[in-house]
Amino acid sequence: MTVALDPSETTAVPSPSEEWVEPAARPVPEVIVRDAREFGIYARTGGWAFALKVARSVRPGGQSAADSPKVSAKAFGELAGCSAERVMRYYKAWDTAADDGLVPQFEALTPGEDVELPDADVWLSYYASRSSASSVRGHAITAAAEAEGIRPTKALEVAENPTALRAAILADPGTAEAARTALLDRMKEDSALQTEMARAIARTDVLKKAVAEENKAADRIGYVRQIVENGQIRTPAGQTVDAPAELRAEAERHLSLIDELDDSEQAGEWAGEAYQAVKGLVVRAVEEDPELRVQERRTKFYSSLQKATKVFEELTFDDAAEVDAIYEDDMVQRLEALQQAIATCITALRKSSPATE
């Protein structure tokens, strides 16, 4: 049996050759439109679309929160529901591209700003360009860079090209000074580097001489400084006594001049002048004090006597054959002259000593 259909109840079905078209009366939800547009952007630009979101929202290294409406990588990661490390990978890729002039620098971007992005096929070369950042060494360099408030990619780039670093140190005094400061800071905790640097200096005559001169200057400055800080002087014979007011004031004057020197100025000449001036005042102070002068001579005599005694105690003649082997007439003559000098010294001391029964 054939049933006739009402034309109003039939539904038009497109033929295979026709393309289906969304009915114009049906509105597309905004969320779908947004997804479609973001998909299109990603299809054309790849990771640059997300790197831009990081670049325009995350503060560059070294910039304080008060100077920028942007947030830290940690805060951005918390808002995004991912780790700060993942955020920084996009950050570093943008930073490298900015150095190459492919995209704007972070400082030129404001939150929500759109800029023209590179093609998607360029993204991976920048996203993976700093593979060293994922190594143990790279993590250490990154952490140090962030502690100094600079972009880690800069430090990683320098670390990957030691020859360029050497050239900059050789050509630029400012870079050499930065390298010197960094080495000194590292040597405080790196005993192996301390040993290597000490060995290098000891094997280089020019450096060894410079170190000796600096040590001499430091000792002289220390001599003047201890007079100022402790109020005492050490006499040539080794006595420690209170410093006269005039001497202490002169030492303080010289020390203030030395402390005012810049790091770039040589302190050796100033240290020598201060040392000689203060030392001269010490000698004069000893000579002007009769009691101190006598004590100084007594101390010097005892010091010389102890040295001479020690030398003679080290002379042994246990082996008679050895005595015959080393015998010289000049030796005996010198000892006889020394014996006479000792006898004269003893006589003089006994004459000056108080009379005894």
The better pLDDT of the pair 168, 355 is held by: 168
Q: What are phi and psi of 58, to 5 degrees?
A: -100, 135
Identify the bridge partners of residue 241 per DSSP, sorted by sequence position: 233
User: Measuring CA to CA, which residue among 230, 271, 269, 236 is closest to residue 254?
Assistant: 271
Q: What is the pLDDT of residue 264?
A: 59
pLDDT of residue 55: 92
Contact between residue 293 and residue 283 where contact means Cβ atoms under 8 Å apart: no
Task: Write out the H or E segment, with its range, that includes residue 233.
Answer: strand 232-234
Q: Is pLDDT above 90 for 83?
A: no
Of residues 184 and 214, more confidence is placed in 184
**Identity at 171, one-letter amino acid code:** A
Distances (CA, A) of 113 to 49, 65, 110, 250, 269: 12, 19, 6, 67, 60
Summarised one tens digit per residue, pLDDT across range 172-187 is 999 999 889 889 988 8
CA distance 128 to 145: 19
Length, in residues, of the chain: 357
For range 90-118, the mean pLDDT: 90
* Spatial CA neighbour of 74 closest among 64, 94, 88: 88
Q: Is 232 helix (H, G, I), strand (E, B) or coil?
A: strand
Residues with Cβ within 8 Å of 270's Cβ and at least 6 positions away in sequence, in order, are 254, 257, 258, 261
State how far the Cα of 59 lies from the Cα of 72, in Å rounded to an integer: 6
More confident call, 120 vs 2? 120
How far is the first Cα of the chain from the last one, in angstroms, to the nearest whole number?
Answer: 168
* Residues facing residue 242 across a β-bridge: 232
Model confidence at 57, in pLDDT bands (50, 70, 90)?
very high
- Stronger pLDDT, 353 or 3, i.e. the higher one: 353
d(CA 306, CA 309): 5
Higher pLDDT, 326 or 179: 179
User: Rounded to whole angstroms, what are the CA distances from 182 to 167, 175, 177, 178, 185?
Assistant: 17, 11, 9, 6, 5
Mean predicted confidence (pLDDT) in 124-149: 68
- Give the pLDDT of residue 9: 42
14-49: pLDDT as tens digits: 444 445 455 555 788 888 888 888 788 777 777 888
3-state secondary structure (DSSP) of residue 357: coil
17 compared with 270, residue with greater pLDDT? 270
Mean pLDDT across the chain: 79
Q: In which residue are the tokens 């008679």 written?
A: 320
Within 10 Å of residue 166's Cβ, how many Cβ atoms? 12
Distance between CA atoms of residues 200 and 202, nearest Å:
6
**H or E element, residue 240:** strand 240-242
Does pLDDT of 189 surpass 80?
yes
- Which region among 18-22, 58-62, 115-119, 329-333 has the lowest average model confidence (pLDDT)? 18-22
Higher pLDDT among residues 184 and 131, named by residue = 184
Q: Which of 114, 92, 112, 106 is nearest to 63 (CA)?
A: 106
Instruction: Determine if the pTM surpasses 0.75.
Output: no
Confidence of residue 5 (pLDDT cuts 50, 70, 90): very low
